[in-house]
Structure 1
Amino acid sequence: MSAAASPRSLAKAAGLFGRVFAAGLLFAASLVSGPAPAEESSEPPEYVGSPACAECHAPEWEDWQGSHHDLAWTETSEGVLADFDDASFTHRGVTTQFSREGEQLFIESDGPDGAMTRWPVAGVIGITPLQQYFVETEPGRFQTFDIPWDTVRNEWFHMYPDQHLPASEAFHWTGPYKTWNNRCAECHSTNYQRNYDAQEKRYNSTYSEIGVGCEACHGPGSLHLDWAAAEGDLPGWPIEGLSPTGFSADFTSGDAETEIQQCAACHARRGPLEAASPLPGTPFHDAYRLSTLRDPLYEADGQILDEVYVYGSFLQSKMYAAGVQCSDCHDVHSATHYNEGNGICLSCHSPAGNPDFPSLKLAEYDSVEHHFHEPDSEGAQCVSCHMIERVYMGVDGRHDHSFRVPRPDLSVSTGAPNACTDCHATEGPFWAQQELEKRFPDSQYRGPHFATTFAAIRKGDASELENLAEIALSNLPAIVRATALEMLLPLGTPELADRMQGLLSDPDPVVRANAAGLQRAAAPTDMTLRLLRLLEDDTRLVRNSAVRELLAASIAHLPTKQAEAMQAAMGEWQQTLAATADFPETQLVLGGIALTTRNLEGALASFGEAVRLDPQMTSAWSMIVRLQAASDRMDEARQTLDAALARNPKAPDLLALRDQLP
């Protein structure tokens, strides 16, 4: 899910954007976006399906079958575990019925208008510890149902039992944030194409294979089959952009980043830059915008809080910095660990060490002297202290992959949790802090931490500005520094922009992208000169960030090379907006763009689409009311405000707006 820009920042966009895009951006989703083919030839690689791999790769095929990847999405005729024999489940006054007629399964529950409606089950999601189902609520649109089956307890349950989500809420199971087509399907299928028509507001989504098949990671396999069948050298081989064996993703090079970024495509909290599954092997930051350690996704110290998956955590870890990759611990075909219990960690963290990671400290970790718990107990498990577990989707426990040392002292100063008091809740963080100081008196894992600054800034304490700037300029993990830059945005000054300009050349694209935003506070000429060179950055994320900030620049003329770079970067950003036109957040952005082109009706249409998708997006409601009032359409403004308050009766910004209208 991507973060929405504020209307205030959007309203600053300059006329340059209008000269390039004009009002046509209102329906930008009609444009085609997606990765360029791996090789511009008359025979681009094609998807052939996982069964084509089985004969030559039998061990991998056997491992993959029945895995979480294989069963990420299945047909209703296969492997349904739930009780559909006239079962029922009641949540907050709504009783849902689960039934079958022959082979067809049905769910009857409250629909988008609140009325009880019966739908055929269209697909099955996952295998354990829960199995979820989705239905087709209108032609081509599929919605994931919030009542899945607990495969351990063998019972129906609600994933969000504490939330009241009536049909009028955007987070109701029929709302935009539960749409299978744009929020889920890409990571549960192979070669997924969303195919959203923004004018018709319909999906015609396609895919090559349901489930995460071989080609979802390796790329289309037709040319690999040609390579494997050839008795000699193939004409024109090797093909530019493909591996020596004909795949778009090359995992044989020994480059850990290739594997990590391929896994991150799904195992990350991110926003898409494209409307389809990127071609495997596409660098992560050319296809996605990674979420930073912002509230409420992460705790102030970077621990997982919301459902952020793995990548953002792993980027914080010393293991990532040391070159550890996913397949060092996980079998990528079976999606299981190589070892059980502490054996996973002890394959490296032991007196013997691991020659692949020579910087490892050689020591005995699986001992009472290190973990201070009964051997083989829960407290003696490495993951209990160094990979806290949090439960998502009601029953799905997932481990934090930042591999951190417990810091109860940070719990005291910031409120972030710690592994010690996950178990020793009664004793509390002060007790845990004293115990660690006593048992590890010379520990290097105490002292200053970015968490104290992040926690203070989250509470509005601008006195931490200098510390925040120091974090951005430090040698901390890139995702931490990028988060600091994002936090600096509302505090920006020309002096701060000058100080941070060196980060525009940082090796990490997430840092460069967030550093671009901070330049909006620079003197106009300085901002323009600094950001123009980012238009030719080798990463799409950075180019998008740069051109978005340059919209506020007053540029009368550019040299030909820079003008071409500007045009290309704007085209890419236009494609990114088109790719997510079915997201309420994008409609908010498009409304702001229409304002910069003085396209009132376009702005009203985009803000209107935003609130159609998400009736709780009060910022978009406010913009509609203000625009109608400013154009002397007071009756419409009052009607709009009444509609907004009917959906959001306690929204402070709408109540304040009601008091302002004449």
Structure 2
Amino acid sequence: MKTSWMIVSLLSVVVLAVVASTWSLRAEPPRVVTVPPKLAAKIPRPSDKNGYVTSETCKSCHANEHATWHASYHRTMTRPATPENVLGRFDGTEIDSRGLKYRVFREGDEFWVEMPDPEIMMYTVQGGKRIEPSVYLVKRNAESPVERLDLRDIPRVKRHVIMTTGSHHYQTYWVEGDAKFGRLIQTLPLVYLIKDDRWIPRQDAFMVPPDSPPFITQWNHHCIRCHSTGGNPNLVASDGGKPTAADHVFETEAAELGIACEACHGPGEKHVQMQLDLKNGVTETSSELDRQIVNPAKLDHRRSSQVCGQCHGVFVMNDDEARRYASHGSSFRPGDDLAATRYYIRYPNESSPPERKADLQRNQTFFRERWWDDGTILAGGREYTAIMETKCFQHGTMSCLSCHQLHNPDPVDQVKAEMRTNLACTQCHDQPQYTSQVSNHTHHAETSSGSECLNCHMPYTSYGLLGGIRSHQIAIPNIGASRTHGTPNACNLCHLDKTLDWTQRALTEWYQVEPQSLSPDQKSISAALLWALQGHAAQRIIVAWHMGWDPAKEASGEAWIPIFLQQLLSDPYGIVRYVAFDSLRKSSGNEQLEFDFLTQPADNQAQLQAIRTKVQQDGEAQAELPPSLLGDQRGRLDQAKFDELLLFRDDRPVTIKE
């Protein structure tokens, strides 16, 4: 696996090498980089290689399927930056990103930004040594002396915004790279929050440590893999010879931007030709027709799910595929076995072979960025990796298409009708204890959220896109994982006011779960509060999200929740502050509160104090806290115990690779 990781990173290393000897630190005003006049000349060039024909060709026969795809967020995953596709306000606003200035504006139907030179940023952040928040040690080339570079001194340039990514929760943007590197596409390290109508630095939209460097990447070698159809970085030699670090350029191409028809059905050229032949009187058998295009619904449950898993999983390319990818793109086609081209990484368990356990020991950071410490998937967007571990997939025939329908009038989650209900499970598990007698199984009222299969077996313990996501690692509530590893469990994420001991006693009584020893705090204090006050950032953000989740508020009571959410507004992670404030605004009477999650708590005392005062007044009037919620003998918050728990907060650096 180590070899593959090294090869996959080769593209970015090569880009750094070619940029190294070309940049200058001389001060100069914003300048326009010479580029072709049309947007089409700057985005990945259309490619008809490998039999792709594009969604427009599919539309001529499959109008309804095309219409439902066209309304989906898959289509808008990556688009050209035209007025129809750009959601952000390019109105001359200047955004400050830790001292780096970005001014976004519009010229007619074109979108532009004044920004620090992205090639110098790329070389410095990805190739230099960071010694201070904005200061790096860099070398222009192998023979040059080491120089000290402050990112704030990088010359500013004017760059054309050429592509967008996202259209549901937020949207981010891509700018043209310097033309001498071919079609190099650089990130604009900002995110536009759609619901909030606000620009923020890109690193503040993700779970990364507060002192993380700017989020700098290139679309050509990273995002192209899943945000385009038939994408090919197409790393070629600028002089026609063999590419080297000194002379290569990107001539990046894609059959289509976004996730289009052929990403799931495979290249359509042979299918189209056969249909034309049929119209011209050439007869073909139905089996011959089926072989020319892939319908995931007709594949077995494993190959069908692998169509989704080509993007929604944790993997590295195998060595042969990694070598091929830079100049030819992926060789995987829908219907293929993913294992032929990729090493799918699974969290080791007790029965795993020694080499997999060794992978975990050698790459602990890699695993912690994607899994909870018990092996439950943490990062959103990795659902195929999750279902690979479920018995329904391993021993049954459950697939992604058991619940999801890609050609769905509702683009949100693309879930089939009624698959948000118990039918998702009872379509297979149709015994009376799960259907007509469900309360006997759940020990909750039949119509309550506690009798909804998904809430117990697919809780929102994955994180991504600014919130909780249902875990696709279907399992039963596990007190052991919470006790030993701190992985939040379904029971305590709904019953936020209850202790781990309360949950254990219920599971022991109802399902004869073997009891385990618990710490004094686990016996006496709400598990959710322990995660919120003493937990690491992933635990804190999951609890913060659940404090705004209606089923949890119904089960736990709502009046006490703002008392603890206001503490999370002082969290060192901006994204935790964002999610906590979003939940706080969902509580009654707090809809109009104002809070800037980007401002460091030490510099935001006025807003924090105003919120603290209101929350405390409301809480004293409405909530009498039990001991499990740190209530003293009068039912008021035991501030000393609160402060003691907070003192032992787990401040390990946390990154989630969603």
Q: TM-score, normalised by structure 1?
A: 0.53
Aligned length: 398
Q: Equivalent residue for 1:333?
A: 407
Residues 360 and 125 of structure 1: is their aligned pair in 2 closer, same or farther, counting only changes over 3 Å? farther
Q: Equivalent residue for 1:399?
A: 470
Q: 1:156 aligns with which of 195, 199, 203?
A: 199
Q: 1:270 aligns with which of 315, 321, 324?
A: 315
The CA deviation at 1:233 is 9.8
Pairing of 1:38-117 with structure 2 (within 5 A): 46-77=51-82, 78-110=84-116, 111=118, 112=121, 113=124, 114=151, 115=154, 116-117=156-157
CA distance in 1, matches of 2:99, 2:439: 51
Q: Which amino acid aligns with 1:136?
A: E
Q: 1:422 aligns with which of 484, 488, 493?
A: 493
Q: Deviations over 1:199-218 (max 9, x none)?
A: 13532211111121111221
Pairing of 1:29-44 with structure 2 (within 5 A): none
The CA deviation at 1:427 is 3.2
Q: Equivalent residue for 1:172?
A: 214
Pairing of 1:391-470 with structure 2 (within 5 A): 392=463, 395=466, 397-438=468-509, 440-442=510-512
Q: Deviations over 1:586-635 (max 9, x none)?
A: xxxxxxxxxxxxxxxxxxxxxxxxxxxxxxxxxxxxxxxxxxxxxxxxxx
The CA deviation at 1:423 is 4.1
| Contact kept? 2:508, 2:515, Cα under 8 Å | no
The CA deviation at 1:180 is 1.2
CA distance in 1, matches of 2:113, 2:52: 34
Q: 1:129 aligns with which of 166, 169, 181?
A: 169
Q: Equivalent residue for 1:143?
A: 186
Q: Which amino acid aligns with 1:442?
A: Q
Q: Which amino acid aligns with 2:315?
A: R
Residues 385 and 108 of structure 1: is their aligned pair in 2 closer, same or farther, counting only changes over 3 Å? farther
The CA deviation at 1:243 is 5.5
CA distance in 1, matches of 2:49, 2:201: 45
The CA deviation at 1:329 is 0.8
Q: Equivalent residue for 2:376?
A: 303
More moved, 248-257 vs 52-61: 248-257
CA distance in 1, matches of 2:97, 2:338: 39
Residues 387 and 118 of structure 1: is their aligned pair in 2 closer, same or farther, counting only changes over 3 Å? farther
Higher relative contact order (CA 8 A, sep 6+): 1
The CA deviation at 1:283 is 1.4
| Contact kept? 1:302, 1:313, Cα under 8 Å | no
Q: Deviations over 1:349-386 (max 9, x none)?
A: 34xxx3xx478675238966555667766656543332
Is residue 220 of structure 1 aligned with residue 267 of structure 2? yes
Q: 2:223 aligns with which of 181, 184, 193?
A: 184
Residue aligned with 2:382, SS: coil
Residues 138 and 420 of structure 1: is their aligned pair in 2 closer, same or farther, counting only changes over 3 Å? farther
| Contact kept? 2:297, 2:401, Cα under 8 Å | no
CA distance in 2, matches of 1:85, 1:192: 32
CA distance in 2, matches of 1:375, 1:419: 18
Q: Equivalent residue for 1:292?
A: 346
Q: Equivalent residue for 1:364?
A: 435
| Contact kept? 1:145, 1:173, Cα under 8 Å | no
Is residue 211 of structure 1 aligned with residue 262 of structure 2? no
Q: Which amino acid aligns with 2:466?
A: V
Residue aligned with 2:160, SS: strand
Q: Deviations over 1:271-314 (max 9, x none)?
A: 23431132333211122221222531212332122456111101
Pairing of 1:532-547 with structure 2 (within 5 A): none
Residue aligned with 2:346, SS: coil
Residue aligned with 1:330, SS: coil
| Contact kept? 2:4, 2:316, Cα under 8 Å | no
More moved, 76-85 vs 108-117: 108-117
| Contact kept? 1:129, 1:396, Cα under 8 Å | no
CA distance in 2, matches of 1:338, 1:117: 44
The CA deviation at 1:4 is 6.1
Q: Which amino acid aligns with 1:64?
A: W
Residues 419 and 337 of structure 1: is their aligned pair in 2 closer, same or farther, counting only changes over 3 Å? same
Residue aligned with 1:122, SS: strand
Q: Which amino acid aligns with 1:46?
A: G
RMSD of aligned alpha carbons = 3.7
| Contact kept? 1:408, 1:420, Cα under 8 Å | no
CA distance in 2, matches of 1:210, 1:173: 22
CA distance in 2, matches of 1:87, 1:374: 52
CA distance in 2, matches of 1:149, 1:376: 39
Q: Deviations over 1:500-532 (max 9, x none)?
A: xxxxxxxxxxxxxxxxxxxxxxxxxxxxxxxxx
Is residue 257 of structure 1 aligned with residue 297 of structure 2? no
The CA deviation at 1:343 is 4.4
Residues 422 and 252 of structure 1: is their aligned pair in 2 closer, same or farther, counting only changes over 3 Å? closer
| Contact kept? 2:77, 2:166, Cα under 8 Å | yes
Residue aligned with 2:254, SS: coil
Is residue 318 of structure 1 aligned with residue 365 of structure 2? no
CA distance in 2, matches of 1:126, 1:165: 24
Structure 2 alignment gaps of length 5 or more: 7-12, 15-47, 125-150, 237-242, 348-359, 361-366, 517-658
Q: Equivalent residue for 2:276?
A: 229
CA distance in 1, matches of 2:416, 2:497: 33
Residue aligned with 1:160, SS: helix
| Contact kept? 1:310, 1:401, Cα under 8 Å | yes
The CA deviation at 1:250 is 4.9
Residues 137 and 432 of structure 1: is their aligned pair in 2 closer, same or farther, counting only changes over 3 Å? farther
Residues 206 and 97 of structure 1: is their aligned pair in 2 closer, same or farther, counting only changes over 3 Å? same
Aligned-pair identity (%): 23
CA distance in 2, matches of 1:117, 1:45: 38
